[in-house]
Chain A
Amino acid sequence: MSKTITIDPITRIEGHSKITLQLDDRGEVAEAYFHVTQFRGFEKFCVGRPYYEMPYLMERICGICPVSHLLASAKACDMLLAMKVPKAAGKLRRILELAQLIQSHALSFFYLSSPDFVLGMDADPKERNLFGVMQKNPELGRGGIRLRQFGQQVIETLAGKRVHPGWVVPGGVNEPLSVDKRDKILKQMPEVIEIALKALAWFKIEFENFREEIRTFANFPSLFMGLVTIDERAGYYEGKIRFTDSLGNIVADMLEAADYQQYLGEAVEPFTFMKFPYYKPLGYPDGMYRVGPLARLNLVDNCGTPLAQQEWVEFRALERNAVLSSFHYHYARLIEILFALEHIQEYLEDPIITQSHARYSASLNNLEGVGCCEAPRGTLIHHYRVDEQGLITWANLIIATGHNNLAMNRGILQAAKHFVRSEKLSEGMLNRVEAVIRAFDPCLSCSTHADGHMPLSIRLISTEGKVLDEIRRGT
């Protein structure tokens, strides 16, 4: 007789979700589903608001990566105004984005995932947390805290607040960077770069203990997608969309983010609020692709900063072509932290960064705007339409986590088939299935927008287990 195993909730991720594993008559995993059970609805309730409110409304989608929403939204508004931003403002926005990438990646790697690496996938879940890391490897714990603190301090120094800052505005930023503030950040750079290098050195030894997980954590061919700059580097703030395949071949290149509807489709499944984007020319579900740190490092031919470049070369040497195991999202995350630190230093050392002219102004010139940037978890697109008064009439958000939805679902099936044995379930088995999702670092608060498509059932069950009443919709 078939049986279902439910892992609910999935721990150490951002948001609320569960996993269902369906077993066949032999007790082997036949299907796996990643259910995202929360709903946000930002695309709907922003309708009717003036465009200039959008950056501050949209960043409220998330408390971890608000800066990405702020920037994508501000860029969409820049397009509504048909304007570019001053050079200093462009660089300041880039620093803000990289600072957020550091704090978000530090949260994912050190707070949420390092307990698995330091204490082991089979460790007692009561100890498998940052507190356990502190006891077993306090230097790593201190390093993680310092990196997250640094990222947040840079955001606060530039934008006034660590979470939900309002400093980025359509046309630029609303206050230039002072020399004092620049020097305050620059002074910290050697210390935090050293921490990132140490963490990388530690992890490159440590992940050798996770060969089985590397082999089975969403390790399969797929496309990869992300922004690439004109000089062939990962484009966190700017660039054109590139798709590559698992052999490293460029499948599509120089695509405008604004044309995303031509090459990205969005499917909806009845078991989750999260949509399933796919690469249109290959159809659904064959058009599965991955985004985020792993994809970004697979898409480019160089990393762009000296220390990160050395690490990137080692990373790409893991496999002959693209690095396919999603376990290596963790490794890629650490390399991106290093890259972001070096890049922030480069920007801050450019004299232009303290120029006083940080904002242009204009009135509404377009009725449609698209803004795109690379959020920590992958490519983020905000698309708005407005009326002649500048009021939002329609909005669509393509969220980083959503891009990975197909790969996450296929990934948990792969890991569950390998690790889960129904005759003797163990916590470690189920933790590994969760850890596949954790490797992608999904941000579910950001990514749940499939309004009106998910069937919902509410059951009233007596203490004896009898179903007393049931309401269903949308089946």
Chain B
Amino acid sequence: MNRALVLACGNALRGDDGVALHVAGCLRNGLCDPETHIQTDHQWTPELAEPISKAELVIFLDASASIAPGKIACQALQLNSNSPASFTHQTSPAALLALAEGLYAMHPARAYLLTIGGACFDLKEGLSEPVRRAIPQAIEKIKALLSEVTLPES
């Protein structure tokens, strides 16, 4: 079992939409411990329910078009078995938690959705300046969330 799972979602060809992938890249380059599994996807799909069910902590990481560019929002997610479930081959963090519980009778003790406000989602590579500047702060926030998780006694 991975004690923590970071699920980054985005499209690096759509400007700031790829910020979560940049953050995941930094985390992979030694900024978090080997017990943390980091996965990047274009979208969150139902297959993630299985690894989510086995994790102690899950951090969903995404760009946001609804908060100011460079702003970081962190929302604790609660398990809600009545999560709206209008999904097909992509789905929301809340629905994934519910799916993990419904299918595998397990869900992480804690789950967060961390979003970074984007400025430009046009067809281009690279991040806008305010979003790029927000990356160190996002990493610090993730490290703080990860540090609260302890390995079970062996």
Residues of chain A whose beta carbon lies under 8 Å from any beta carbon of chain B = 11-12, 14, 63-64, 107, 111-112, 126, 129-132, 134-135, 138, 141-142, 145-146, 148-149, 152, 163
Contact = CB atoms under 8 A, between A and B. Distances in A.
A11 B89 CA distance: 11
B85 interface: yes
Nearest to A142: B103
Contacts of B45: 148
B47 interface: yes
A111 B102 contact: no
A112 B87 CA distance: 9
Contacts of B87: 129-131
Given A111-B46, A131-B95, A163-B42, A141 B88 contact: no
A152 B39 CA distance: 13
Given A111-B89, A132-B85, A63 B102 contact: no
Interface string B60-93: 0000000000000000000000010111110000
A63 B46 CA distance: 15
Contacts of A63: 42
A62 to B, nearest CB: 12
B18 to A, nearest CB: 14
Nearest to A130: B46
A131 B47 contact: no
A280 B110 CA distance: 61
B103 A11 contact: no
11 contacts: A14-B89, A111-B46, A111-B89, A129-B85, A130-B88, A131-B99, A132-B85, A134-B99, A145-B47, A152-B47, A163-B41
Contact of A130 (B41, B42, B85, B104): B85
Contacts of A64: 89
A126 B42 contact: no
B98 interface: yes
Interface of B: 41-42, 45-47, 49-50, 83, 85-89, 95, 98-99, 102-104
A410 B95 CA distance: 37
B86 A126 contact: yes
Contacts of A141: 102-103
A142 B105 CA distance: 11
A149 B102 contact: no
Contacts of A163: 41-42
Contacts of B49: 145
A107 B89 contact: yes
B98 A145 contact: no
A126 B82 CA distance: 11
A384 B87 CA distance: 37
B102 A131 contact: yes
A111 B47 CA distance: 10
Q: Which of A112, A129, A135 gathers most chain B CB within 10 Å?
A: A129
A253 B7 CA distance: 49
A24 B133 CA distance: 62
Contact of B103 (A111, A112, A134): A134
B86 A145 contact: no
A149 B152 CA distance: 28
B85 A149 contact: no
A138 B47 contact: no
Contacts of A138: 102-103
B46 A145 contact: yes
A447 to B, nearest CB: 17
Given A63-B42, A131-B95, A141-B103, A111 B88 contact: yes
Contact of A146 (B50, B86, B102): B50
A141 B50 CA distance: 11
Nearest to A135: B102
B8 to A, nearest CB: 14
B47 A149 contact: yes
Q: Which of A111, A130, A134, A148 has the most CB of B within 10 A?
A: A130
B104 A142 contact: yes
Contacts of B98: 131
B86 A129 contact: yes
Nearest to A153: B47
Contacts of B47: 145, 148-149, 152
A11 B50 CA distance: 25
Nearest to B45: A148
Given A111-B89, A130-B88, A134-B102, 10 more contacts: A107-B89, A126-B85, A130-B85, A130-B99, A131-B102, A134-B99, A142-B104, A145-B46, A145-B47, A163-B42
B99 A129 contact: no
Contacts of B88: 11-12, 111-112, 129-130
A11 to B, nearest CB: 7
A163 B47 CA distance: 14
B89 A145 contact: no
Contacts of B99: 130-131, 134
A160 to B, nearest CB: 13
Contacts of A111: 46, 88-89
